Amino acid sequence: MVGHFAMMIILLLMIALIAACYKIYKMKTLFNSYRLGIDISEIKRAKEIIENSEKRYKNILSVMPEGVILYGADHKKIALNENAYKMFNLDSETFYEKLNILEPNFPFVDTKGNPLALEDYPVAITLKTGESITGRVIGIISTGKTRWISLNTKLLEPCDSTEVPQVLVTMTDITKQKETEIKLRESNALLRTIIDSIPIGIIVINTDRKIVAVNRPCLELFRINEPRQNLIGQPAAKYYHPSYKYSEEEREKVKVILTNNMPVVDEVEMSNDRLIQRSYFPFYMDEELKGHLWVFEDITERKAMETGIIRAKEDAVKANKAKSAFLANMSHELRTPLNAILGFSQLLELQETLTEKQRTFVKEILKGGRHLLNLINEVLDLSRIESGKLKLSFENINIASVIDECINLVRPTADIKGITLTKERNECENDFVYADQMRLRQILLNLLDNGIKYNRENGEIIISCESKDDLLTIHVRDTGIGIPPEAQTEIFEPFYRLENPFVEGTGIGLPLVKQLTILMGGKLGVESQLGVGSDFWVSIPLVQTHETNHPVSLEKNEMLLPKNKEYNILYIEDRLWNQQVVAEILDNIKGMKLLTASSGSEGIRAAENQKTDLILLDLQLPDMNGVEVFERLKSNPQSTDIPVIALSANAMQEDIDRTLAKGFKDYITKPFDVLTFIKVIIKYLR
Ligand code: ADP
């Protein structure tokens, strides 16, 4: 472009020069003619032609974006257009007054910003050598700013001996272009600094597998001590392959990656035992493969940490399993004697011959035993929830009946403290919730128990319920000691208890209530005022339909078996007191005869030789475990059709499920509720 304009200007100036020479020649001729007395009208016409032609050049020069100067060997200069002074940031007057571009005080700089030596001034060079200069970039410093120009020179020989040589200078302002270039260079430098400062090795190779770019961390990673520029253009394999542990294997692998041109992330071991994560990305431009980008990250420490975390997690899982096993065992160990305690005391309670004092003792034994059982169950439940093993069985439940049931259950305890239990009339009398009935009862009983425990003598508990949107909320309000605001969140954390020497407790109830509520898709909260009372509320999803699965309750007639029929029940159990509990229970039902066996083998023999209608099988026997006994019973044609019910102190749900899956008819956990026990037995005898 610059060259093109320059050519044009040169052409114009050549014409001007020829015209000027012609003008001089004409003038001389005219002068001669004049001297010779020739008509001057021709002179006039020639003058007009020259003036018109000059006007035309001026017009052309004024619209050109370049600045054009004629600079003579005598330092006289002519600015051929206005752009000429603008290039120097001067007006025409100052331009002629001050500018002497061959004087050292005029601030010209080279592309690096260094002052230009006088002999390197393009005009000086052209005047000296006669050679034209094209596209030379120099900076002109004016009012603190650098204006960048691209400059061309051309020597114009004088027309005659009266003239000095002149240099035609054309200048194009390229400041904007130069600034963009500088910015680009700066941003490239910044990018390079950033790429060098990240602790990740990066190398770019072209399609000939030669290095195009590499960052400093990459050199460190591959322990390359050569200057970076030495690597550019070299085959990449020469540098990084030797650092890999299995060089040949790696060479093959890399070859495959480079042939497939698909992004790959893998891990490689270095010969110095460091572990590197290697990522490969093909580098495309306009869908054409231009090269390959490799990224290397030293992950030795991270990997070690990950392995540590995985191991710690495995240990934690193991520890958790051990805890669950411990809880299951403990619960088993505690439940077994409790079976005798609760079983016998329930039977004692039924005796009419007991004195008042004895009855009180029995009640205390039962209370203590039930409390203990409750505690074991809660600890076990909490640990099951924690390990995600607690299974709920959802059904549609009429909330009013559950509330009534719970109020009735706690009423005796409330009465002792003179606490009134009031159920507020409410609109959710006919509402149904979708929940686990047993667990919902557990939640309400817990809240009611606390309401009684932490109430004052002759206090009050008000149970109310409201339904809003899709939730049903039950409130249990008491007139008790209240809870300070700062403890109102913490009471839901396991084992948290407020200092209270008068009330016994474990701090498990509320956390369990909270977890159970969450499992049922509900929410739980409390509003409380110290010394005034607390309002515990629980919200659970409401069922829009009033259809319900009626809960099964043991009716009197369910206990009746066909008259005049005798049933032989074989109980295989090594512990004598457990045998006695069951014997006493069955003694109350007409037509039931209990046969006992104290070991697995004895039980198998008994079932084979006697008419047996039902087998109650303890799962832990001295000679073999219950499941083995069960399998032997089933494989024997004499006993294969006899229904078998498992009896065990093991209440872990997964063990129950596993046992039932073997083919047991039912599973009763010890200590058992007498009525439930009878109900299950009758179910399989009919
Ligand atoms: P526990 O009653 O066995 O201590 P909970 O988990 O049921 O365990 O309750 C945790 C604590 O919350 C209790 O120790 C008691 O300080 C406080 N708390 C629970 N319910 C009430 C209530 N209705 N009124 C006052 N304080 C209560």
pLDDT tens string 272-306: 888 999 999 998 888 889 899 999 999 999 999 99
Confidence grade of residue 223 (pLDDT, cut at 50, 70, 90)? confident
Return the residue whose CA atom lies nearest to atom 14 of ligand 1.
497
Residue whose CB lies within 8 A of the most ligand 1 atoms, among 374, 510, 514, 538, for a mutation test? 510
Q: What pLDDT, on a 0 to 100 scale, did the predictor assign at position 59?
A: 85
Alpha carbon separation from 419 to 413, 455, 503, 532 (Å, rounded): 9, 8, 16, 15
Confidence grade of residue 398 (pLDDT, cut at 50, 70, 90)? confident
pLDDT tens string 198-216: 999 999 999 998 999 999 9
Say if 191 falls within a structural domain.
no
436 forms beta bridges with 394
Give, for 669, the enclosing helix (H) or strand (E).
strand 666-669
Confidence grade of residue 43 (pLDDT, cut at 50, 70, 90)? confident
pLDDT tens string 71-90: 888 888 888 888 888 888 77
Q: Are residues 259 and 308 in the same domain?
A: no
Q: Are residues 585 and 626 in the same domain?
A: yes
Three-state DSSP state, 118: helix
Q: Are residues 13 and 162 in the same domain?
A: yes
C-beta neighbour count of 450 within 10 angstroms = 22
Q: What pLDDT, on a 0 to 100 scale, did the predictor assign at position 537?
A: 96
Find all residues with CB under 8 Å of 365, minimum gap 6, and list them: 341, 345
Alpha carbon separation from 99 to 148, 377, 382 (Å, rounded): 17, 104, 95
The residue from 354, 382, 410 where one domain ends is 382
Q: What is the mean pLDDT of residues 536-554?
A: 61
Q: Are residues 126 and 100 in the same domain?
A: yes
Which one has a higher pLDDT value, 479 or 387?
Answer: 479
**pTM here?**
0.43
The residue from 298, 332, 364 where one domain ends is 298
Q: What pLDDT, on a 0 to 100 scale, did the predictor assign at position 651?
A: 77
- CA 233/CA 249 separation, integer angstroms: 25
Q: Are residues 464 and 377 in the same domain?
A: no
**Shortest-distance atom of ligand 1 to CA 476:** 23
**Shortest-distance atom of ligand 1 to CA 511:** 6
Say if 19 falls within a structural domain.
yes
The CATH number of the domain where 561 resides is what? 3.40.50.2300
Q: What is the mean pLDDT of residues 373-401?
A: 80
Q: Are residues 347 and 318 in the same domain?
A: yes
**Shortest-distance atom of ligand 1 to CA 480:** 24
Q: What pLDDT, on a 0 to 100 scale, did the predictor assign at position 677?
A: 84
Residue whose CB lies within 8 A of the most ligand 1 atoms, among 371, 454, 516, 529, for a mutation test? 454
pLDDT of 9 above 70: no
Q: What pLDDT, on a 0 to 100 scale, did the predictor assign at position 13?
A: 56
Q: What pLDDT, on a 0 to 100 scale, did the predictor assign at position 547?
A: 39
Q: What pLDDT, on a 0 to 100 scale, did the predictor assign at position 550?
A: 37
Q: What pLDDT, on a 0 to 100 scale, did the predictor assign at position 680?
A: 85
pLDDT of 563 above 80: no
Confidence grade of residue 396 (pLDDT, cut at 50, 70, 90)? confident
- CA 140/CA 122 separation, integer angstroms: 13
User: Among 146-150, 386-390, 412-416, 626-630, which stretch is predicted with the lowest mean pLDDT?
Assistant: 386-390
pLDDT of 24 above 60: no
Residues near ligand 1 (Cβ within 6 A): 450-451, 454, 478, 480-481, 483, 491, 496-498, 500, 505-511, 534
210 forms beta bridges with 235
Sheet containing 211-214, strands listed edge to edge, beginning at the edge strand earlier in sequence: 211-214, 201-206, 288-298, 275-285, 264-269
Q: Are residues 6 and 149 in the same domain?
A: yes
- Where does residue 77 rank: exposed (0-12), middle (13-18), buried (19+ CB within 10 A)? buried
Confidence grade of residue 467 (pLDDT, cut at 50, 70, 90)? confident
pLDDT of 260 above 80: yes
The CATH number of the domain where 27 resides is what? 3.30.450.20
Q: Are residues 500 and 638 in the same domain?
A: no
Instruction: Please count the structural domains in the chain.
Output: 5
- What is the 482 CA–ligand 1 centroid distance (Å)? 10
Q: Are residues 157 and 283 in the same domain?
A: no
Query: How does the average pLDDT of the chain come out, rounded?
Result: 84
- What is the 508 CA–ligand 1 centroid distance (Å)? 9
349 with 362: CB under 8 angstroms? yes
Q: Are residues 142 and 19 in the same domain?
A: yes
Say if 7 falls within a structural domain.
yes
Q: What is the mean pLDDT of residues 422-439?
A: 82
Say if 431 falls within a structural domain.
yes
Q: Are residues 321 and 366 in the same domain?
A: yes
pLDDT of 497 above 80: yes
The CATH number of the domain where 430 resides is what? 3.30.565.10
- CA 289/CA 183 separation, integer angstroms: 28
Q: How many helices (H) and strands (E) does the chain have?
A: 20, 23
- Whether the upstream peptide bond of residue 671 has omega within 30° of 0, thus cis, is yes
Confidence grade of residue 57 (pLDDT, cut at 50, 70, 90)? confident
- CA 284/CA 266 separation, integer angstroms: 21
The residue from 298, 322, 351 where one domain ends is 298
Q: What pLDDT, on a 0 to 100 scale, did the predictor assign at position 27?
A: 55
pLDDT of 257 above 50: yes
Find all residues with CB under 8 Å of 25, minimum gap 6, and list them: none
User: Among 8-17, 440-449, 513-522, which stretch is predicted with the lowest mean pLDDT?
Assistant: 8-17
The percent of the chain in helix, strand and coil, each rounded to the nearest 5, is 50, 25, 30
User: Among 92-101, 376-385, 527-536, 603-612, which stretch is predicted with the lowest mean pLDDT?
Assistant: 92-101
Q: What pLDDT, on a 0 to 100 scale, did the predictor assign at position 10?
A: 53
Return the residue whose CA atom lies nearest to atom 16 of ligand 1.
498
pLDDT of 6 above 60: no
- What is the 491 CA–ligand 1 centroid distance (Å)? 7
Eight-state DSSP code of residue 200: S
Eight-state DSSP code of residue 625: B
Return the residue whose CA atom lies nearest to atom 21 of ligand 1.
450
Return the residue whose CA atom lies nearest to atom 3 of ligand 1.
505
Range of the domain at 628: 556-685
Q: What pLDDT, on a 0 to 100 scale, did the predictor assign at position 99?
A: 64
Q: What is the mean pLDDT of residues 596-611?
A: 93
Say if 502 falls within a structural domain.
yes
pLDDT tens string 165-189: 999 999 999 999 988 988 999 999 9
User: Among 50-59, 319-328, 589-598, which stretch is predicted with the lowest mean pLDDT?
Assistant: 319-328
User: Among 1-5, 94-98, 440-444, 596-600, which stretch is predicted with the lowest mean pLDDT?
Assistant: 1-5
As a whole-number percent, the residues of the chain with pLDDT over 90 amount to 39
pLDDT of 504 above 90: no
pLDDT of 61 above 60: yes
Q: What pLDDT, on a 0 to 100 scale, did the predictor assign at position 416?
A: 92
pLDDT tens string 312-339: 999 988 887 787 778 777 777 888 888 8
**Shortest-distance atom of ligand 1 to CA 482:** 25
Say if 179 falls within a structural domain.
no
Q: Are residues 493 and 403 in the same domain?
A: yes
Say if 184 falls within a structural domain.
no
Q: What pLDDT, on a 0 to 100 scale, did the predictor assign at position 103?
A: 61
141 forms beta bridges with 146
Give, for 463, the enclosing helix (H) or strand (E).
strand 460-468
pLDDT of 461 above 90: yes
